[in-house]
Structure formats: structure tokens, C-alpha cells
Copies of this chain bind each other. A is one copy, B any other.
């Protein structure tokens, strides 16, 4: 007997991710899932991006944390709509949590929804949330061997933000070879977009903003 199993059986998480994907596609909203270790600067990147793109791109944020709403509070100060998810110990956001958060965001008024995942370079990359793309963030203080050592997120991300490049200035004590990380990331993911930035000083951020505007335009088919 031959059984053709043509329909892929989805996990509960994948089911919710698919629902999120349909909702976002229907409304033509861009959704980016930011993944990094704790302390790479995701929140600071989001705050600067929201403020600099005011009047150009309407941004909402789904903020994931193991505990506390410290980051959501910071983002709230930009007046962007933000929904906090506290995972209470869990090491990644789930698509079900994101679905609930999406239902509380004023999506129709937004162009772009950032999901700030739990700080963790390993687990979140394995869980689809229904996002359009994953964005990896790495701070130069973490060292230039991280793409080789934690390949999953670098292989899956559409873009990589290498943050805190202000720490590489003359006289700084951080050893970090930008070219090594770029080469390692491109070995895993030929088309990955790479932006070397400082969310603190603003250096390199304009290329990131241009890329975001292009992604929003492409999705809308403008």
C-alpha cells in the first residue's frame, strides 16, 4: 500500500505562525523579528529607528522579555505603540504569544511591526512567529567568532546589524574584526545584508533606514 502524505503536518507553533503570516500579508504589513544575545542593543536600535523614521514609517513593537517591562517602558517613551510579552522564564517568544499581541496592536495604522525577541542567540531562531524576516543583531563586544559558533540565526536572518561599532574607535579596548564576521555570515547566508552601526552615535544607521524603507515599499508593491 502506498500512502501519499501531501499535506505537511504543522506543529501548534507553526499553525499560529501561519495565521500571523496570513494576517500580516492581508494587510501588507512588514514584520521583522529581532534576535540577539542579551545586551546587544536591540532596544536602543529600535528607539533610534522609531525616532528617526517618524513621519516616514509608522512603527509598532512587540516586546519580549523573560521578566520585567523595562524595555517596553523605554520604547513607550517614543510614543510608538508597544505590547509587552513577559515569557516568565521561557527562552523565546511563541507564535501564539505574538498572535495575541498582534490583536492588541493598531495594525491598520502601522507600516512596520518589530518583534524584539527574548535575548538569546540560540533558541528564538528555531521558532517561526509569522514574521517576514529575521534580523540578527551582534554587538562588537561579543567577539568576532559568533557567526561561526552560533550559525543558526546567521544562516536564517535577512539582515545582520553589527552594533556598538563606536567601541572600535582608536584607543578602544575591543578586538573585533568586522571582515571576519562578514565573511563567516556570508558563508552561511550568501545574500545576507550587513550593516555596521552604532545605535548610540547614529553611525551607519542611515543605510539601515534606507533598507527598511525599501522593504516596506517592496511589500506594499509601491
Contacts and interface: CB of A to CB of B under 8 A. Distances in A.
A103 interface: no
A149 B38 contact: yes
B121 A119 contact: yes
Interface stretch (A19-27, A66-74, A205-213): A66-74
Contacts of A65: 149
Interface of A: 37-39, 65-68, 70-71, 89, 91, 118-123, 126, 139, 141-143, 145-146, 148-152, 164, 166-167, 171-174, 200
B121 A122 contact: no
A66 B167 contact: no
Contact of A37 (B121, B123, B149, B171): B121
Contact of A149 (B70, B121, B167, B200): B70
A66 B149 contact: yes
Contacts of A89: 122, 126, 152
A122 B38 CA distance: 10
Which 4 A/B pairs are nearest by Cβ-Cβ distance? A39-B142, A141-B141, A91-B122, A37-B37
A89 B121 CA distance: 11
B167 A141 contact: yes
